[in-house]
Each structure stands twice: as C-alpha cells, then as structure tokens.
Structure 1
Amino acid sequence: MASTGGGGASNQSVGGGGGSSHPPPPKILLAKPGLVTAGKFTRGGASADDDSVSIRSRLPSVGSLNLISDSWDFHTDRILPFLTDNTDFTVIGVIGPPGVGKSTIMNELYGFDGTSPGMLPPFAIQSEETRAMARHCSVGIEPRISAERIILLDTQPVFSPSVLAEMIRPDGSSTISVLSGESLSAELAHELMGIQLGVLLASICHIILVVSDGVHDINMWRLMLTVDLLKHGIPDPSSPTLSHSQTSSLGSEKESKDKIQEAGEGYMAAPVFVHTKLQDQDLSPHNCMQLKKALVQYFRSSSFKLTKYQNAAKDHHFSSVSLNNQSNNPDSTLPNLFLIPFKSKDDSPRAQYESFISTLWKLRDRVLSTSSPSFARTVSERDWLKNSAKIWELVKNSSIIAEYSRTLHSSGMFRR
C-alpha cells in the first residue's frame, strides 16, 4: 500500500540499524495519506469501521499535502518534513488541459509500477466515474518526492470546465482570490490561474512538461508564450533577494522590485512539449517533422531553452535522414518535443509505431536525461520550498500579470 513513510528512501542509506552517526533516511512523499483508508477495503463489521475512523483521525485530510491548495494558498509547513538540506535534486512540473494524461506521465517519471498488487499510484489517475461526472483529479499543485530526490509537481488542469464550475458564484464572481486585493469574475480568474501556474513552474522547476491533446491543439503553446511574456521580474528559488524581500525594510519599494527583476531575468525552466493521444497517421515522419517545424517557428522569439538538432536525432519518431540534413547547421535548434500514441485496449504496437507503454518508458528516459538549466546559485530542498512560497506571492502580486488582467477585462472577452 502506498504510504508516506521513509522506507522508500532506504536505498540512500545502508544499514540504518543503530549508529547515531548516520542520519535517518529522508522521507519520500508517495501519496496523500488521506487516500489510504481501511474503510475502502472492508465490508461491514464494527471493528473495521472503528479502525477506519481511528486511521482517518490520525491522518491529514485529502488535499492537506498540496503545495498549492484549492484556496490558491501556498503551504510550506505541510511539505517541509519531506525535504532535506540536500542540494542535489531535480524539480519537474507538468501543465496541461484535463484528460491528456498528465498524472499518468508523472507516475511514469516517479517509477511507479502499476502491475504491483495493492499499490496506489503517486498521482491519482482519472477514473471512468470521474470522467463521467466531468470532474478533475488534481487540485492546485500536488507534490510527490521520489527516493532519488526528484520533486514532481502535478497541477490542476488548465482550460477545465470542472475547475471553473467549482469556483464560480451565482453572480459570476470568483470564490478564489487569484490576484491579491482584486475581485475578478470567475471566468477571468480561471484564465489567470493557468497563467500563474505556468509562471510559477517556469520559475521554480528545472523541467516543465507542457502536455497537449492530439496533434492539432496549440492552446498550450499559446499559454506558454503568454507565460514567457509575463514571467519577467520573477526570480528563481536561489535568488538572494528573496531572503530580504519580505524581511528588510531598507530601500524603496521600487529599488526592491528592480533588484528582484534583475535577479529573475534569464531563468526559464526547460520545456518538454508532449502531445498525447496521437493516431497512426499523426506519427508518420513527415507529419512529425511538420509539427516540429511549427513548434520551432512558434517559439523562435521566446525565452524557452531549445535543444540542438543533434540531441533530437535520438528521437525515435523522426527519420534520421531528415534530421541529418538539418543538423549540418550547428546553430539550428529544436524544441524538445515528444509524441505519445493513443492507448489501444491491448496496447500492442501498430505497424512500425511503438506502443503506448514503450513510448512512456522512452519519455521517462528522455526527461530524466534532459539537460536542464541550473538555478543561479546552489540551494537546498528546504530553501527551494521556502523561496518558492515567496515566488508564489510575487506571482500573485505581479504588476505585469495584474495589468494583463485589466487588459483582458477591458477587452470584453470576460464578463464582470
């Protein structure tokens, strides 16, 4: 059964039997404790019910271990016990619309083996019931931490009708305060939530997975261009200005903002653009290369890191001939793009194309071997978390995002 115990990290410390000189192994965050209740697996019986109540009374409620909760607040105290002073860690975030397989991809990155009986996946996967009820699984940002010290951040879906339905009041206003000190319509607040999540992930992650549905959906491309436009002035978690931005009263407010903006300029998490649910015709070498070229053109002027053609030549979805012709130019670059086929019932490979499962394995290898940007300075896991909370406040108080919100409001696209 999935748990939050530290046993999964035992491969990092050997023989933790009794020497006081050896620190205890770090805890890993595998699943929300509130998901594990005895009542789900028993039928009737007073003793079973009593045990279930007793277990639930000792465990945090579902959602209590979210990095960002449904109230759009950042919670450091809940996650801090799972982090250490280790500086060798990787942060991977994911963002995308509902039902594209974000949680499935993150479970694969975690190394979860779904064939093991009795194991809960680290991230809840959309069930048939959830899909039929038009609900979403993830709320805010849900973190998991592997034994290899990979911090995985799963986000609630963007462009999600179910998220909008939960935050809209009868008068059309938002129940969630997205921008500090401003009252917004639910539709506008919902639009800004996706942007804020993208800005945060681009600021605090090493790698950000941008997942799209099918080959023709470019809504996530548009969102990430907006993120690139509005992120300026948000530093990375190693910025020394963060430790003084809220405690020091010296200097003017303008000077403080200028310092933060200077520290934040230049850092952007490495994006991996993932398109899921592709049909066989979408996976042909010609169509794959056309999508790649479109992505290059779309993000040509953005701040997102692009990879060399030579690195992309290992991509099993593209013919070596077409890539070799273009890799002769050492200055040419490609976005990191990965294509995942539609999952068939028996998950068997079709013709020359690979199966859904084998493609997920290769995506895991690609992501974990991606050359990602480093933070400006060395930072520990704990300091990363504390500074990420301060970055979230900067995002919610960003004058650039607030001005963008006013522009959207005045455009008439969103009701008051």
Structure 2
Amino acid sequence: MSESGHSQPGLYGQVRRRRRRRGERDVGAPGQNLSGPSRDRDYQPRERRDGSEDPPGPLIQKTPIILAKPPGERSKPTQNAPVVGPSVLEKPIMLMKARDEGGKPGTPPEVAVQASGPGPTKMEREGQRPTQPVYQIQNRGMGGSGSSGAVDPMVGQSKLLPPDKMKHSIKLVDDQMNWCDSAMEYLRDQTDMLVVGVIGQQGSGKSTVMSLLSANTPEEDQRSYVFRAQTPEIKERGGNQTTGIDFFITQERVIFLDTQPILSPSILDHLINNDRKLPPEYNLPHTYVEMQSLQIAAFLFTVCHAVIVVQDWFTDINVFRFLQTAEMLKPSTPSASHDSTGSTGNDDGAEYYPHIVFLQNKSRREDFCPGNLKNMHMMVDKLMGHSHLKYKGTLSMLDCNVFPGLKQDYLTTEVNMFLLPVQESDGEDTLTKVGSGTYPLFSLLPGYRGHPSYSNMVSKFRSQILAMPRCQLSHTILTEKNWFHYAARIWDGVKKSSALSEYSRLLC
C-alpha cells in the first residue's frame, strides 16, 4: 500500500461511517490503494453533494449570483408576461428600487414612479435621473415599455397636453339658431373659468370690444381681430357682421360670447327680402327677430358670469325695456344632474342672475364731465331699480384713477358703468392751423382730450372685467366641459320655453 493510502486511515473511517448513516454504497476498503487521482474522484463529489459543510471562500460570494438574477435583469419584464394580473401590480415594486437594493416588497408605488421611468433604460442602469416627466409614466400604465399592452408614450403625453390655442372665434350657435359642438375640443376639465357675454344694438361695437378684451390690442389691424368687426362694405349697406353666437376662449380660461345685434333691422330686412321661411310658431318676421333677441339675452343671463350691454349713445329706453323683458322670460336655474363634482349647499329655489355692465362706447368728451357722469349713473339706477340683475357694486371707474380729483363717495348711486372714448389716431389733436399751413403745437405733450388715451381706457376696462366675481352658475360646480353641456341644455330649454312661446303669441 502506498504512503498516501496509510497516511489517513482515521479520515477514511470517518467518511465510511458517515456514508453508512446516510445509506450510501461503500466504495473501497481500508486496505485498498487509493491513489491521489482516485481519492480525489471519491472525495470531491461527496463533499459537493454533502450540504452539511459550506464551500470555501470564493463560493460564498458567488452564491447570490447563482440563486438570483442581477437587479437589471429582474426589472426587465419577460416577453410572455401578462399585462394584467398580479404581475402588473408588481411592476412598480421592481422599478422603485435601486440596483444594489434589489426589489424588496412593501415600498409604495409612488416612490417607484418617481424614482424610475417606465422601463429600465440605459440612463437608469447607470444611476442617472430619468428625464421623462412623472405624469407621462403614470399615464402609460403599469405594464412597462416591454409588455405587449403598453401605451405609446406620445399618446399618453398628448392626452395631458393643453388644448390648442384659439386663433379666431368659432360658432356656438349658428345663424339658424342651432347649437354647434365644435367648441368642445378647446375646453378642459377644470373649474376656474370666467364666462363673459355681450349684447347690444347693431353697429354699437360689440365685436370690437370683445376682441380687445380677449386677445387683441387697439394698435392691431381690425381684420386680424378674433371677432370679426363690420367691414366698410357692410357698414355702407347697413348690414350686421355677427350672426348667432360666436365663441372664443383665452389661455387664461376666459370664455367670451359675442352675439348678433338685438332688434336688428338688417336681420329683419334679410328675412323679408330673401323670402326666408319662418318657423311655424312665428307668423310675422318682426316677431321672429324680437324672439331671437330675447332667446339670446335669456340664454346669456343664465350661463354667463358677466354680461356687457354695449351702447354707442346715452341712452335708449328700448334697451332697458328689452333687458327687463329678457329677465322676465329667463329660464329657471336647473340642477346640473350630469355633473357629479359636488354640491355647494345653495338652496334649490335660489335663482342665478349675472353681473351686468353698461358700456358707453364711442363716448364724447362731454360725457367724461363729472356732472354728466353722475347723472348717467342716477338714471341707470332708477331704470334698473326693480331688476334682480347685479347691476352695481362690481365695477367702478373711480377705482381706475380716471377721475383723480373725485372722491370715492362722489357717486352715491354708482352702477356698473364704464365709458370708452372714440378711437382716434395718435397725434390728431396735436396739430393746429397757423396761416396757410399746419404745424405741430406742443409736440412733446399730448393734446387735451378730457380722458386718458383709448388704449389706456381699454386696458383699465379689461382689468375690471377680468376681476369680476366668478359666481356659481348652477347648484353644482361646473367644469369647462360640464359648462358646455349645461349651456346646451339651457339653449334647448330656451327654444322650447313655454313662457317665450306665450309671449310670442301675445305679440301677434
């Protein structure tokens, strides 16, 4: 027997006894010559199959790599992984942990969404912060970029983009008094909005005023206004530019509604000369024109926060009679049953009335005299004394520093009235005629007009309108889209109103 075979008899006996206790087959005998190679073949496999002893040093570090996948591979979804089910819920847990921490359960999914992108990109594996916004990750869902049901990131991003910016007005009600749905694509699901409507007689400047309040300045060309004003050709033949109701919404979420003129002679002339067929419930053209105007005014009194009454001279008694009639025929405020955003606690019997503002457009220099201004306020207050419309307390010319010498208590019966002067070209009042020529007089100083410039007055009026209180239009809080559906219901109710039908019958 070799020297190596006699050197470890005790060790071989221990191995045999251990193998007999496990019931293994005995190989060899103490007297056999177990050379180096055969002994290695006998001992090495036995020690690897025996789990009672841990492998030496290097194998301890390799054990986690053999038993678990690397963190980068664990975050990758498999090709055949289902999109729905428990695996979908585990996706944020895999994404929320760093590489060295693995994917421990119990961490909130919000941390996962903020800590990583929808999939393990190269930047995330290198430890860099993802540049993709969090709202895009939430919109793409929990399936990951590698799953078959994942949403395209561009589609998810487009759903959260703001609506397109309007460049011109569109129709809310056409010339046939039919409702249009084209304005829906410009509205959002948010409640912070202001709705401003306008009514006035033909040629008073309604469209120009609404354009200056919404998106344009007096220095721009009127042909680029969002609400088209009367062209010289239309003025020459005594026509009107706006028909029905035009819609425009600004990026500040202010909705402007421009309307056709009330009691318009050009619309009546168009009905008579073009032999347009009247609806069966109307017998005479002038009755149809008046009822159209009342329907529009009653509609604005129900869906607007503020209604601007534009006049180009002070004052027409027929305008105030028309306002009182429209208020009488205004439909009752219904509850927006389609909106589930919440109730406000208002009484069910409370009626809504908007703020009304009287705009004296194309005012003369004499109208800005404090005495004449006080007389106009007193007259409007007496004419609107029995009205439920909110015609005072929300707009003041004295707060605009237009009359710096007047005290706040000068107008004891101050109503919501504002004066806009005639739009004049710059430098028109700074020329004087001397002899046979015209020379500049006080060229460094503006000419006296009795009021600030037209642009300054428009800016002051715009700031007053945008600061109007945004009262609640119905018994529930309305978003922009819900307001659109609510306005459609009101318009349909106005056209089918029994009170308006009875009033139309009495006019015949």
Same fold, TM-score > 0.5, yes or no = yes
Alpha-carbon displacement from aligned partner over 1:213-267 (angstroms, at most 9, x marks no partner) = 2123343222211111111x4326xx23578xxxxxxxxxxxxxxxxxx957520
Residue 325 of structure 1, CA deviation = 5.1
- Separation of aligned partners in 2, 1:85 and 1:324: 43
Secondary structure of 2:319's partner?
helix
Percent of pairs with identical residues:
28
Alpha-carbon displacement from aligned partner over 1:146-177 (angstroms, at most 9, x marks no partner) = 11111110001112221112223677xx6353
- The residue that corresponds to 2:293 in the other structure is 194
Residue 98 of structure 1 is aligned with which of 196, 202, 210? 202
Cα distance change of structure 1 residues 340 and 209 upon mapping to structure 2, 3 Å threshold: same
- Separation of aligned partners in 1, 2:503 and 2:402: 38
Q: Is the 8 A contact 1:309 1:326 kept in 2?
A: no
Cα distance change of structure 1 residues 373 and 334 upon mapping to structure 2, 3 Å threshold: farther
Residue 29 of structure 1 is aligned with which of 152, 157, 166? 166
Q: Letter of the aligned partner of 1:143 in structure 2? A: F
- Separation of aligned partners in 2, 1:208 and 1:214: 18
Cα distance change of structure 1 residues 306 and 118 upon mapping to structure 2, 3 Å threshold: closer
User: Structure 1: 5+ residue runs without aligned partners?
Assistant: 1-12, 33-64, 244-261, 328-332, 410-416
- Separation of aligned partners in 2, 1:298 and 1:213: 18
Question: Aligned ranges for residues 337-416 of structure 1 at < 5 Å?
Answer: 337-346=417-426, 350-375=448-473, 376-409=475-508
Aligned length: 333
Secondary structure of 2:288's partner?
helix
- The residue that corresponds to 1:156 in the other structure is 260
Residue 68 of structure 1 is aligned with which of 170, 173, 184? 173
Secondary structure of 2:173's partner?
coil
Secondary structure of 2:289's partner?
helix
- The residue that corresponds to 1:49 in the other structure is none
Secondary structure of 2:171's partner?
coil
Residue 117 of structure 1, CA deviation = 7.8
- The residue that corresponds to 1:336 in the other structure is 416
Q: Letter of the aligned partner of 1:235 in structure 2? A: T
Cα distance change of structure 1 residues 313 and 78 upon mapping to structure 2, 3 Å threshold: same
Establish whether residue 268 from structure 1 lines up as the match of residue 353 from structure 2: yes
Cα distance change of structure 1 residues 338 and 116 upon mapping to structure 2, 3 Å threshold: closer
- The residue that corresponds to 2:387 in the other structure is 302
Q: Is the 8 A contact 1:84 1:382 kept in 2?
A: yes
Alpha-carbon displacement from aligned partner over 1:307-344 (angstroms, at most 9, x marks no partner) = 339956415555764642565xxxxx632101112223
Cα distance change of structure 1 residues 382 and 310 upon mapping to structure 2, 3 Å threshold: closer
Residue 107 of structure 1 is aligned with which of 211, 215, 219? 211
TM-score between the two structures when normalised by the length of structure 1: 0.72
Residue 234 of structure 1 is aligned with which of 325, 332, 337? 332
Secondary structure of 2:455's partner?
helix
- Separation of aligned partners in 2, 1:219 and 1:400: 21
- Separation of aligned partners in 2, 1:114 and 1:322: 30
- The residue that corresponds to 2:367 in the other structure is 282
- The residue that corresponds to 1:43 in the other structure is none
Q: Letter of the aligned partner of 1:110 in structure 2? A: S
Residue 130 of structure 1, CA deviation = 1.6
Alpha-carbon displacement from aligned partner over 1:55-86 (angstroms, at most 9, x marks no partner) = xxxxxxxxxx41111111111x2211111212
Secondary structure of 1:379's partner?
coil
- The residue that corresponds to 2:316 in the other structure is 217
Residue 206 of structure 1, CA deviation = 0.7
Q: Is the 8 A contact 1:288 1:317 kept in 2?
A: no
Q: Which has the higher contact order (CA 8 A, sep 6+)?
A: 1
Q: Letter of the aligned partner of 1:240 in structure 2? A: A
Q: Letter of the aligned partner of 1:28 in structure 2? A: K
- Separation of aligned partners in 1, 2:376 and 2:494: 32
Q: Letter of the aligned partner of 2:248 in structure 1? A: R
Q: Is the 8 A contact 2:188 2:479 kept in 1?
A: yes
- The residue that corresponds to 1:175 in the other structure is 277
- Separation of aligned partners in 2, 1:309 and 1:124: 29
Q: Letter of the aligned partner of 2:316 in structure 1? A: D
Question: How big is the alpha-carbon RMSD for the aligned residues of Structure 1 and Structure 2?
Answer: 3.1
User: Structure 2: 5+ residue runs without aligned partners?
Assistant: 1-132, 137-152, 340-346, 430-446
Q: Is the 8 A contact 1:87 1:378 kept in 2?
A: yes
- The residue that corresponds to 2:69 in the other structure is none
- Separation of aligned partners in 2, 1:391 and 1:113: 33
Cα distance change of structure 1 residues 154 and 308 upon mapping to structure 2, 3 Å threshold: closer
Cα distance change of structure 1 residues 227 and 116 upon mapping to structure 2, 3 Å threshold: closer
Q: Is the 8 A contact 1:234 1:395 kept in 2?
A: no
Cα distance change of structure 1 residues 193 and 19 upon mapping to structure 2, 3 Å threshold: closer
Secondary structure of 2:389's partner?
coil
Cα distance change of structure 1 residues 281 and 133 upon mapping to structure 2, 3 Å threshold: same
Cα distance change of structure 1 residues 394 and 285 upon mapping to structure 2, 3 Å threshold: same
- The residue that corresponds to 2:16 in the other structure is none
Larger radius of gyration: 2
Alpha-carbon displacement from aligned partner over 1:16-57 (angstroms, at most 9, x marks no partner) = 99694571111233215xxxxxxxxxxxxxxxxxxxxxxxxx
- Separation of aligned partners in 2, 1:391 and 1:209: 20
Residue 271 of structure 1, CA deviation = 0.6
- Separation of aligned partners in 1, 2:388 and 2:365: 32
Secondary structure of 1:88's partner?
coil
Q: Is the 8 A contact 1:203 1:235 kept in 2?
A: yes
- Separation of aligned partners in 2, 1:133 and 1:312: 36
Secondary structure of 1:390's partner?
helix
Cα distance change of structure 1 residues 392 and 78 upon mapping to structure 2, 3 Å threshold: same
Q: Is the 8 A contact 2:398 2:406 kept in 1?
A: no
